Structure 1
């Protein structure tokens, strides 16, 4: 299928959807919002994605309307998507610059001579995506090459170009109907793969990346010129099952450019402008949807070695229901890894692993989604630190949420119907855990500066005689809540689960067993922990197998500075684990759980980092990981290859 035939197909698709576009325009005019053209399901998916990626606050989301009745402007997405406000966070520019690094000019070589140009972009460490009409076959791709950094620097001076040969003999997948080609790229003269130098753009199968009316941004090489970007005065006009129609400025040479949303996620592969049937120029642009390309790739009959290469796309590229691609054969994984609970990542020989150790309240959640949330938060911090993102397929996420919930199910707390205060509602039923719970609240209130007359007597903290003292716990709990800005329910729930873990041996054993089952068997492990997970991490270091070392321990939002916590650890005090080389502790002044911080006052050789977390989410792990100094510590410890 040549470009002329593809243009005829585009015109036909545009003609067939004229009624659909007119209906979209009518709804936009009636409601006064450009986002009224999308369905309820699309709006909801978009809103959920923005919240899950922490691009917006959940409180900014108005409810999405039901299918009964008209769409009202007040309930759509202006406040989130900035339809009436072109102001963007300054990191919009930094994120765009990072995304643009993966875009290259494709030089097409036929018969030993240059036959034309296009644009392509990396979607894996050595995988480049472009159009079928740019690289239609293996013969054309053979000898063609990709020029990265074909652009001007901040002073307008052209950068040195970094060229890489294409390697269609390693991988070449194409489809004329969707007009895409995925081709492998050879390593450079220094042996480095292009993605290791320029990064790559993740293709995301999940819906909710864009809705009708949102702006799109395109980076490419129009007319083979130095790299250019089209931003604003661009909008998504319509969504078809396999294609997107949008308004933006493009020229020949933009073929194969990535089409981005405002979060710099790829939503489509641009392939051409839609010509006006009457010959009056161009009326729209069209790109193949990322989800359609990924569905085609998932169904492509490829040999095992090429299927394995597709794993570089990452787990987020797998369409719903598609079997995950295994990077290494099961027999080559560490013994027993395939039977372990939780979520493990890809195994790469000689590479350090990153292990995320979550906090409380995760029971019933999908571990893969939780891990992705941690990775997204860390990606923000790495970008701010000028470091490339981690591949979340290489991250281990031992999940103990269900084990903790099951272990505390019969002895969790008092009856909520008879409790008169929050402190009473969340007090553990187990006597040992009750003692720890009371001590945590009292000590935290004291650390928060609660006036002496209001403090519970020190003797009562450890006495365990809580019958008449339970009601008195609400006063220090309220004090902590008022000083931190966190809800007293959140604080009480965290303290309850920390107390259950520290005060009840059966709970501790269940949690540690679940975590150990989800860890690598040996090697260097960067351990990143949060909240209750920091307490578990210190105990874990005491019982780790001999073959595991921890070059870096990160604790975030940790209660390890409280006497009531550290003296009940397996080490029986603030004893630094021998397996840990470096230790970075992230804390926020408004985080009531981290009220015993900084840890350096109690623990030896801890690097404390004060984070400016937002007050309404001071204990949130994504807030901590998005802090550049914290992310930089993890990023520098991560990519070592032995």
Structure 2
């Protein structure tokens, strides 16, 4: 028996066993009358997505009463899309089913139907790692399309076979149990997706809540194509996986898992077996199961799939060459991988600075200075930190930044850096000090800063896909109510990115405070200037609020400190609320700066205005990276990416 599959089955049992407390909370909510017992933010994001996509009957919105709000309103909207379906539900399902193929290969004997796969691009097939664990297995297989019963239960008249081309692209991950492989074109030169269509993968949240039905299309036990649409409910969400109650069989490995709008939400990979308290898998007789008994003897209690959004994030983090990135662009804009990093040329040469730096030497140095002979004396590396660093040790922060960068430099095959060679100007305490002295104790922000903060949240939510009121054809009063309850900006951003509300609130609060008052801005810039090296050239690496500080800093540097390059990560500079208030007066790089590279994570709420290329001039290159779910805005995670470290290492070289 496939050892990889056995490991996946046991891992699924372990996840189920570890989530007993969460299932208890879900059961408590269901007993209290919650039809969709998910978190409130998830419910609101799901309802908003359904409204935005015109999936909700207009009568439901028109019948909304003023008393309905929050989860109650969200459940009403979600329920309306589950109770009755438009007749096009069937046509859309048939369209999705056409992309699904039966996979044949040999496991030592004759070639047989073994699993399922589905097209996610004109020539891209997605299936499980335990189906195609290596390129050699894929090279010896073929995918059969059209293997399904006819409308009158007649056998298929014609099926079409396509073979994988793993030499062009073969990306796989054992933990997430997925493999993405290119398919060769057919005899007429067309890739399979031009004939059978393909599914668009969507990285955004809001596609599913606990209690929603899920639909699975595949080839169970190698049979002709079948669909599971009865007694099927999404029951539990994990960081990387989904578990659900749906009838499947071993041949369903590699099947797409859909919501009722036929959006792919998961890649089915395993059943969840019954198990005892120690996690031992049980057979149909309630005794410990052994692999030699076969999968048919396992007592199954649920099923499990890999989250599509997690697969996309992992694909974004894999190291790929130019040819592979061009192939991945087939996944489309919704995947976050639909285009290669945007490159611009013709960065203007440095010329006279906009302003000089009077009196910066009078500010006390609070950061950590680097060694003047570092990097052969050719260049100085400067880290400019972000928000919420008050009370921290600058030397310890510098070591943490350097550790992340050294991870990325190692991946890139470039020399690592000694933390003591890096300059780390520190303004964290100064920022809090000037904010508290400028604001009343009883108010967290001044009225003008509060307005700016709300403007930032509103713009971030809109950039994250929150629809405007005019996008839905209902009466204005009713839609105002829907917007007020389902589309609250902070909740939308939190649900879209998976980042805690408090983290988002604090991040945008500090950006607003910095941009609102010129005396705050001057105090921060003076503090940073005091911690810079006294001669250049310098390479500036900035994170979060520090990218805004760095952009303002460029307007105050004199010719004695030329900038060899600028690297920004996790930046809010893509928001017009931010760049319109910069000292440079807009979205253009001050001419003193050298080449500029920007990196952003699609689930980082602070970088939600990225990519920058559409708005900014002077940008040399940028790319999207996939940070871990719980570290979407983390500086160490950003610097550990090969692309980011390479941009820095080449400037130091």
| Normalised TM-score (structure 1) | 0.48
| Normalised TM-score (structure 2) | 0.47
Which has the higher relative contact order, 1 or 2, with Cα contacts under 8 A spaced 6 or more apart?
2
